Structure 1
Amino acid sequence: MMEPASAGFDVPRAYLRLGGATLAHHQLALALAAGCERIACLAKAFDPELAALQREAERAGARFHMISGGRALSGLVTASDELLVLGEGVIVSPVDALELIAQAPAVLVLPAEAAVPQGFERIDINHAGAGLMLLPGRLVERLNDLPPDADPASALLRIALQAGISQRMVPQSVSNDGRWLLVQDEAQAQAAEDRWMDRQTSGLGHSLGMGLAAWLSRRFGAAMLHAGSGGSATGIAGLTLLAMAAGSAWLEVPTLGLALLGAAWLVQRVGTIITGAQADSLGLGRGMLSRPEPFGALLDIVLVGVLIAVPSLVPGEPTWLRAFAPLVLIGLLRLLSQVLAERFSAWFEDRLLLALALAALGLAGLLPYAVPGLSIVLIVAGIILSRRRGELTSV
């Protein structure tokens, strides 16, 4: 945490934010995921941001040390240790990084032609250091032979190469996909954040509702994370909308309840995407409010209640008979979403699409006919789609 984020400012580059967390926090999450027991942070002063990192490391069971140079590092590392070195401002995909360093100690490298203009340190004519190394602890002692103001990360890179530590190339698919970056200023942090959110939402647009949730997450997710609300605010909003939908059923206004249920599903799915992005990058747990399974079950229960509130075609029909068609509809949707291919199942899981369709039918006065009619359509669709995949067998 030595280099400033930009000229004329004292704020370290490591305090630039990506997805609501500092670059240093992302690096700490990677170190903890790798199993590091001690964290040594090169910094000029112990400030509130560094104190927050220390609390995070200690909560995870690691010891935290602030050091001012390479010689202080040598006092923390023994010959039997392994040292994970992260360069300043280097942000990498934890999954890719852990896979690359799991094999054996190595200096990770990138093609120099593309990496050097981005700010990575050149090693030779063809390679640049990727900003991440796993080294034997015995090499750290050589830092004592260097001047006190020598950059420890750069020095360890040269020491490792001289000691014959193998070089391991970061796959081109990882570096080209924005999963291995060096962030040096606010503009680069913003660009990295945009690509980060794009990766988190890629492949989610299989249905109308999920496509809209992915777009909203890309558009507003980073701002929500920076504001500190994250997925918790969307989870609370989703539950509030569910309660309002249940109230609409109680007041016998099912069309309004259906619209509220669609909004609740959309809001909660946005929260799930945002929380998932944090969990993947920072190793955070997913709270109950951001998990789609319990929320989805609760939403379906409320949906059945709203459909029961629809005026029956048969005067005086008992409640259990009025609940039959809605229960069959929800059961078919859940069954088909489990047994069909993903490109089909996403449509059967899409409660925004279902709620809006039912609400439109309710406005047209067709809702009493729509629920059993949709159940018949689902049965036919399930048979056709399952036969196409060879999942139905003849007896």
Structure 2
Amino acid sequence: MMEPAVAGQTLPRAFLRIGGATLAQHQLGLALALDCQRVICLARGTSPEMIAVQRMAEDAGLQFYIASGARSLSGLVTASDELVVIGEGLFVEPTGVLPLLEGRSPAVLVQPVEGGLAAGFERIDINRASAGLMRIPGHLVENLQELPADCDVHSALTRIALQSAVPMRDVPATVRSGVDWRLIRDESEAHAVEQDWLNERFADGGYVSPGRLIARRGVLRFGSTLLHAGNASNMLSLGVVGSVAIAGGLAWFEFLVPAFLLLGVAALLVEASRLLRSVERHALGQLPPAIPRANVLGWLLDAAFGLSILAGVPRLGGESLISWMFPAAMLMMLLALIPRYVTGMVASLAADRATLGLLLAFAARFGQVEPVVEVLAIALIVIGMALPLRRKD
């Protein structure tokens, strides 16, 4: 973490952000995936960004150290250690790295020199360039004592490893393709990689319902700005709760058209928060919780839809409570149930609460909420009976 992101400034490029997390935090996620026990950051000193990385490492159970150069690094590594060396500014997906560094055998990862030099990696020989990653025996670090204190540690360790007959291992072209293996040197490259990374993570796969498509396009358009602002998914989650509360108030006073439209907007925010939260967890190397927050928000949204439907269904004199609640309850339960048993367009549409909000707003405009709810419920039952069931493993 030595090189500045912008000439004349002090912020290292290791603290450029991609997906709401710094490059250093992405690299820490790689270290966790490789089962490292200690993390040593080569840096000139502490900073708020460095403290954030330290806190993240210690929360994950790792020991954390800062080394200011070659001499201090050699004092932290013993001959019995194994050292994984990650190049400055390297952005890689752990899933592509793990097969290349599996086992305990040392290796210097390399790539063809043509593409490697163009991407900013260091030349190793006439045919190969460094790939920015290697696993080497700890005793090789002692050789840094013979070099000037201000030497480039990563470059020096690469040369030492190759001179010590550590084998080179080529990174397959499929792993280096796309945004899975990049060297980030400045803010513009970080923004470009971030946008490509988001596009790749949210690439369309099969049929996508209108509501989810709008949410996905919104995340691709504004997700980078929200992620850089911090707490992107938290902000959208608060937006969901606020929208549901306002929609509930509107339904209470029988303003059903704006109530259903606002619930449709809340559905878009739920989907956007789900997408952004998945990016935040991935960037920080966090596993998804047993019950994702988006699921809880979805349950809240379904409850609000059910209550708003009841506000548009008059209760007849002498009608039982169960009879009055039955159409709304049946529709919302079927909408939750059908996607578990069928696939494709029907499942996607059944899970699309934004489209449901628009349809119910249209029905409320003409005072036909109850007939539309009943028709939808019957249609879902017929679909569930007619379509092939989702195959279970």
TM-score w.r.t. the length of structure 1 is: 0.91
Counterpart pick for 1:240 among 239, 242, 255: 242
More moved, 63-72 vs 235-244: 63-72
Which residues of 2 match residues 105-124 of structure 1 at below 5 A?
105-124=106-125
Partner of 2:145: 144
Counterpart pick for 2:321 among 319, 330, 334: 319
Partner of 2:177: 176
For residue 48 of structure 1, report the CA deviation from its aligned partner: 3.0
Are 1:60 and 2:55 matched, yes or no?
Answer: no
Q: Give 2:333's aligned amino acid.
A: G
For residue 311 of structure 1, report the CA deviation from its aligned partner: 3.0
More moved, 369-378 vs 277-286: 277-286
Counterpart pick for 1:339 among 334, 338, 341: 341
Match of 1:128, SS state, is: strand
Partner of 1:128: 129
Counterpart pick for 2:231 among 221, 225, 229: 229
Partner of 1:71: 71
Once residues 334 and 85 of structure 2 are traced to their aligned partners in structure 1, the CA distance between those partners, rounded to angstroms, is 52
Q: Give 1:158's aligned amino acid.
A: R
- Asked whether the equivalents of residues 341 and 384 of structure 2 are also in contact (C-alpha less than 8 Å), the reply is no
Once residues 108 and 177 of structure 1 are traced to their aligned partners in structure 2, the CA distance between those partners, rounded to angstroms, is 18
Once residues 63 and 142 of structure 2 are traced to their aligned partners in structure 1, the CA distance between those partners, rounded to angstroms, is 20
For residue 273 of structure 1, report the CA deviation from its aligned partner: 0.9
User: Aligned in 2, Cα 1:253/1:99: closer, same or farther, shift over 3 Å?
Assistant: farther
User: Aligned in 2, Cα 1:173/1:360: closer, same or farther, shift over 3 Å?
Assistant: farther
For residue 43 of structure 1, report the CA deviation from its aligned partner: 1.6
For residue 230 of structure 1, report the CA deviation from its aligned partner: 1.4
User: Aligned in 2, Cα 1:308/1:316: closer, same or farther, shift over 3 Å?
Assistant: farther
For residue 257 of structure 1, report the CA deviation from its aligned partner: 2.3
Match of 2:98, SS state, is: helix
For residue 243 of structure 1, report the CA deviation from its aligned partner: 1.8
Once residues 230 and 285 of structure 1 are traced to their aligned partners in structure 2, the CA distance between those partners, rounded to angstroms, is 18
More moved, 94-103 vs 123-132: 94-103
Partner of 1:98: 98
Q: Give 1:42's aligned amino acid.
A: L
Aligned-residue identity in percent? 42
Match of 1:110, SS state, is: strand
Match of 1:129, SS state, is: strand
Partner of 1:249: 251
Superposition RMSD in Å: 2.4
Match of 1:386, SS state, is: coil
Q: Give 2:65's aligned amino acid.
A: H
- Asked whether the equivalents of residues 200 and 273 of structure 1 are also in contact (C-alpha less than 8 Å), the reply is no
- Asked whether the equivalents of residues 308 and 319 of structure 1 are also in contact (C-alpha less than 8 Å), the reply is no
User: Aligned in 2, Cα 1:85/1:302: closer, same or farther, shift over 3 Å?
Assistant: same
The count of residues paired between Structure 1 and Structure 2 equals 390
Once residues 167 and 345 of structure 1 are traced to their aligned partners in structure 2, the CA distance between those partners, rounded to angstroms, is 48
Are 1:38 and 2:38 matched, yes or no?
Answer: yes
Partner of 2:356: 354
User: Aligned in 2, Cα 1:164/1:385: closer, same or farther, shift over 3 Å?
Assistant: farther
Once residues 297 and 206 of structure 1 are traced to their aligned partners in structure 2, the CA distance between those partners, rounded to angstroms, is 21
Once residues 349 and 307 of structure 2 are traced to their aligned partners in structure 1, the CA distance between those partners, rounded to angstroms, is 22
Which residues of 2 match residues 18-29 of structure 1 at below 5 A?
18-29=18-29
Once residues 187 and 130 of structure 2 are traced to their aligned partners in structure 1, the CA distance between those partners, rounded to angstroms, is 23
Once residues 74 and 317 of structure 2 are traced to their aligned partners in structure 1, the CA distance between those partners, rounded to angstroms, is 84
Deviations 1:166-214 (A, max 9, x none): 3333332332221111011111111011112112312367111111111
- Asked whether the equivalents of residues 214 and 270 of structure 1 are also in contact (C-alpha less than 8 Å), the reply is yes
TM-score w.r.t. the length of structure 2 is: 0.91
Once residues 249 and 289 of structure 1 are traced to their aligned partners in structure 2, the CA distance between those partners, rounded to angstroms, is 29
For residue 53 of structure 1, report the CA deviation from its aligned partner: 2.4
Q: Which runs of 5+ in 1 are unaligned?
A: none
Once residues 7 and 295 of structure 1 are traced to their aligned partners in structure 2, the CA distance between those partners, rounded to angstroms, is 45
- Asked whether the equivalents of residues 273 and 294 of structure 2 are also in contact (C-alpha less than 8 Å), the reply is no
- Asked whether the equivalents of residues 108 and 168 of structure 1 are also in contact (C-alpha less than 8 Å), the reply is yes
More moved, 60-69 vs 352-361: 60-69
Match of 1:101, SS state, is: coil
Are 1:163 and 2:168 matched, yes or no?
Answer: no
Once residues 347 and 311 of structure 1 are traced to their aligned partners in structure 2, the CA distance between those partners, rounded to angstroms, is 24
Q: Give 2:55's aligned amino acid.
A: R
Deviations 1:71-103 (A, max 9, x none): 221211122222111101101112322343233
Once residues 100 and 283 of structure 2 are traced to their aligned partners in structure 1, the CA distance between those partners, rounded to angstroms, is 17
Q: Give 1:51's aligned amino acid.
A: I
- Asked whether the equivalents of residues 15 and 23 of structure 2 are also in contact (C-alpha less than 8 Å), the reply is yes
Once residues 7 and 162 of structure 1 are traced to their aligned partners in structure 2, the CA distance between those partners, rounded to angstroms, is 33
For residue 337 of structure 1, report the CA deviation from its aligned partner: 0.2
User: Aligned in 2, Cα 1:76/1:148: closer, same or farther, shift over 3 Å?
Assistant: same
Q: Give 1:251's aligned amino acid.
A: F
For residue 356 of structure 1, report the CA deviation from its aligned partner: 0.9
Match of 1:157, SS state, is: helix
Once residues 385 and 339 of structure 2 are traced to their aligned partners in structure 1, the CA distance between those partners, rounded to angstroms, is 13
Once residues 292 and 198 of structure 2 are traced to their aligned partners in structure 1, the CA distance between those partners, rounded to angstroms, is 17
User: Aligned in 2, Cα 1:247/1:285: closer, same or farther, shift over 3 Å?
Assistant: farther
For residue 316 of structure 1, report the CA deviation from its aligned partner: 4.9
Which residues of 2 match residues 170-209 of structure 1 at below 5 A?
170-203=171-204, 206-209=208-211
Once residues 259 and 290 of structure 2 are traced to their aligned partners in structure 1, the CA distance between those partners, rounded to angstroms, is 24
Once residues 313 and 18 of structure 1 are traced to their aligned partners in structure 2, the CA distance between those partners, rounded to angstroms, is 53
Partner of 1:10: 10
User: Aligned in 2, Cα 1:133/1:66: closer, same or farther, shift over 3 Å?
Assistant: same
Once residues 326 and 171 of structure 1 are traced to their aligned partners in structure 2, the CA distance between those partners, rounded to angstroms, is 54
For residue 342 of structure 1, report the CA deviation from its aligned partner: 4.8
